[in-house]
Amino acid sequence: MQKPEYIIGIGASAGGLEALQELLSNIPEDLSHSAFIIAQHLSPSYKSRLRDLLSRVTSREVREISDGEELQANTIYITPPDNDALVRQGVLHLHKPVNTIGPKPSVNILFHSLAVDVPERAVGIVLSGTGQDGGIGLREIRDAGGYCMAQDPGTARYDGMPHAAIQLGKADLILSPEQMGKELASLLSLDDSKLSPQELNDEQFKQVINRLSRHSGVDFRGYKDTTIRRRIIKRILALKKTDVGEYLDYIKENPAELQNLFQMLLIGVTQFFRDPETFQVLSKHLKDAFLQMSGGDSFRLWVPGCSSGEEPYSLAILINEILEELDLTMKVQIFATDIDESAIETARKGVFPAESLVNVPEEYREKYFSKTHDGVQISKHIRQNILFSRHDLVENPPFLRLNMISCRNLLIYFSQKTQRQLMPILHYSLLPKGILFLGKSETIGQFNDLFTVLDSKHRVFQRVFDTVIPSSLYRSHSGFGKSSPGAGGGDEPVDLKSNIQETLYADLGHPFVVVNGKMELIQLSGNLETYIGLQEGMFSNQFMNMLRPELKAELQHLMTQAIRNHVKAETPFKRFFPEEVDHFLRIRIRPLVYSAQMKSYYLIEFERLNIQGGVQGLTQHGSGGNSDNERINELELELSTNRQNLQNYIEELETSNEELQSLNEELQSTNEELQSTNEELETSNEELQASNEELQVAYAEIKSINVQMAEKDRELELANARMETALYGGKLAWWEWRKDTGEVNFSDAKVTMLGYDPDSFPRTLEAFLELVHPEDSEANLQSMRHHLEGKIPAYDSEYRIRTKDGNYVWYWDRGRIVEYDDEGAASRLVGLVINVNDRKQAELSLERQIRERDMLVKEIHHRVKNNFNMVTGLIELQLNRVADSSQRSMLRDIQSRIRSMALIHRELYEHEDLTSIELEFYLPRLADAVLRFADTGSSNILFYEDVEKTTVPINSAISLGLMTVELITNSLKYAFKEGMPSPTIRIAVKHLDDGKLRYSYRDNGSGYPDDILESTYSGIGMDLVKSLASQLRGEFRQYNDGGSVAEVDFQLPGDEPG
């Protein structure tokens, strides 16, 4: 398994599938040393087919991320739905989204983890999508030294995320997805080959640094040379310049580039509770520190290089939790500093994206963070404990009397020399037993005597050596570009004597010399002939070569102590026998209180005391002591000194041997790795050769297939043109819904019929559902659910949908499932939508007309009913005035028929449906009404009905009703004699086999007279019955069978045989 040299994170959302396919299909094969991680926003409930879709456009392995798997080179990883992905130490991790609201998976979380885990080997790419996800994470990758790309908004289907990447993330390159692949290969290959940090022109490099330092006020000479060079190279490559000289010309023409370079050199990688296990260890040591403090004490903490503030805020939360747990009340002051003013401004606000809380425990999120429209904000009582300010750790004086310094992952960006100069400063800033908190890749180096180790794994140290470094140490620091002692370029300090006098007491009168850490003579003062002199040969400013031999051993020992511990050292007074008068001599070495460019100087003082001055008691031997014993003591002291010097040399030699041994092991390991890499390259070459042969064969086959496909394409284009013409003419549009991915495709007509632009209309199901009329939405969704559940064979729905101008039109939508996944669930549906607005409007108009007609008919019915009542009333008045019996009988017949007509009218027009009526209800009610209103006694008449369920048109019902009234009237007048037992009337309607209906009326009266049966006589009533039967186009019969019988066989309108 080959580990990736670069990790390329890709974020996308709406419109991202097309962009991903273009990007991956254009990434050259020579990027095999990279791994790709895709965070594509997906609905949590969908089973993604993104892996299958992308596998079609790339030869690289495409796989879905499994939690805990190690990254492999030349592999494309896809974040599964409803998960966030991040990288820690080359291992992929999945976790449920921090926020229920917001895009999933989070692009910012992925990019942040890359910035932390592989800062200068990370590449961030943001493609099409809505919102701003990825912008902040892209900026973190850029700040960490990685490359950043954003899709050109003009080529993105949705440009929200690309715009955020450009504005928030400060993307290095803005390209189309097709161009990105080639540019990636170019950048990553140039990154390690064309321009290496060692090959940069030193003079031109210094010019860039000098211009940058003057612009920013930050002296970058103390930073790691290779880091600075590597970042400048990245900037040169991003601008497509060929060398530093061309870049210098670009800076001269574009002064604003210095600010871009300054921001690129600043390293702002940080996060809340970075390395959570380390914070647990720190919590234990902080508890011990708090328990040793008094109630009135204040706790002072300094966080240099705080970036955007996550580290000081994490420490503030941790301290607050500890104080609550210990039930302590104590003033907490946290000083958070950085040279990046924009980062400081961000930190002061205390507002962060919600994704940045991935390492924050759940209980802390609820307790210390509140949601805002921009993300989340730190609680006010935490923010007010922290003072943010601009501060240069190298140039500016430190904060003092501190209980703790958190300087994590800052020292690693400084050179070894600067680190050695900063460590005593950090030591000096701390109170005794103060805590120093470093990053996992940082150590205290050679300063074991200044700090003790509290936890080596998690880099927690404690101050133990109580040396006071005077504040004048920083007096010479006046900022880059301003005159300062020693700034001229040589080691000779400017106005060094004034600094020496500041160190010595005002009444000091002993001769002295000043040397540097290499024991080179810088300056001397006073008469030193007794102790030093020049030797024959070439001149050397090595002080040890000038010193008298009898003083060399002891002075070398003292100098070693002074340099190692940076403290003063001195010998006791001892007798010295020069050629002149003998005397007592004490040698003192003091570290000089001066630091031009952080260089060390030492003052060596020769304090002389004449024997004649009364030196009795200065040594352990009096003037009357034995001179031999004194000499023996002096020799023993000298021997002891030589032994100590020898021990120092032995320790230094052992240290050198260990370093050489370690270097040798590293060289051996490197040699083995190179050998292994060579073997892998040879194997890869063979594989590439085999792949090339296969590609040649495949190319020949593809060329033949392409000819066939070209012909098919022409046929398909013709068919598509015909289909589009048909769709346009019929106001039709097709649609396709990928239920597994949520993607919706459709022909342009589906949205152009509504007045929308198909290029800008979102291709999502939600976009269409939002346009459906609220009254139709549930029925529409119910039809789709029933089809998906298998309850109906197809989705079929008519609904109103909103047009661009705000009106609604009617759509008729039909579709069905055409593909299922491996588990049998629907994965793809296709369908057709028809604009039926004209038809629907016509139907609605017709319904409106019918309602208006019904209202008119009901009004007419009301007036006709009133007219019937009025006519009946007039006849009744006339009856009161007529005495002639024949006239009265005639008027009674007329009145009876009018009442019958009124009954029929009432039965018909009080029915809800004015076009048809059910005979099984209509005829019995009509007969009952006729019998109730009859003038003759009818209360004893028995009525039976056998009417089968039949619905007839209104005209047929009128004819049957009048016929029934007339036949009942005739029975009451002529069939039933007075006193007849059980007079009976029967009405029946039957369905015949030939499709006709048979209406049958019979009574048990006296029957029809013969002249009526023989048709020699016919009254008005029977003539009316026959006329009504003729209107029904029926066959009328009358006969006697235990009474009178009348039948009509007829065909309903519309049922006639063709």
Give ∠ CA 830-834-836 in degrees, rounded to 5.
Answer: 155
Q: Could you tell me if 132 and 168 are in contact, meaning their C-beta atoms sit under 8 angstroms apart?
A: yes
- Angstrom distances, CA of residue 18 to CA of 42, 125, 244, 311, 760: 15, 15, 38, 39, 15
Cα of 189 vs its chain's centroid, Å:
30
Residue 87, class by beta-carbon neighbours within 10 Å (0-12 exposed, 13-18 middle, 19+ buried)? buried
Q: Can you say whether the dihedral through the CA atoms of 940, 945, 951, 957 is positive or negative?
A: negative
> In this structure, what is the dihedral angle of CA atoms 305, 309, 310, 316, given to the nearest 10 degrees?
100
- DSSP symbol at 473: G
**Token code pair at residue 201:** 């022109």
Is residue 204 within 8 A of residue 195, CB to CB? The reply is: no
Cα separation values, 406 from 137, 306, 411, 459, 1013, Å: 24, 9, 11, 10, 126
Q: Provide the 3-class DSSP secondary structure of residue 251.
A: helix
Measured distance CA(978)–CA(940) in Å, rounded: 11
Q: What tokens appear for 159 in the block? A: 């440009």
Q: Exposed, middle or buried, 595 (CB in 10 Å: 0-12/13-18/19+)? A: buried
Which tokens hold the place of 361? 């425990």
C-alpha to C-alpha distances, 844 to 847, 850, 851, nearest whole angstrom? 5, 10, 11
Q: Which pair of tokens denotes residue 802?
A: 């909103």
Contacts of 99 (CB under 8 A, 6+ apart): 354, 355
Residue 381 phi/psi, 5-degree rounding, is -70, -20
> Amino acid identity of 137?
G
- Residue 581 DSSP code: S
Active site (catalytic) residues: 13, 41, 133
Whole-angstrom distance, CA of residue 722 vs CA of residue 730: 12
* E strand spans, 546-665: 569-570, 574-576, 583-591, 601-610
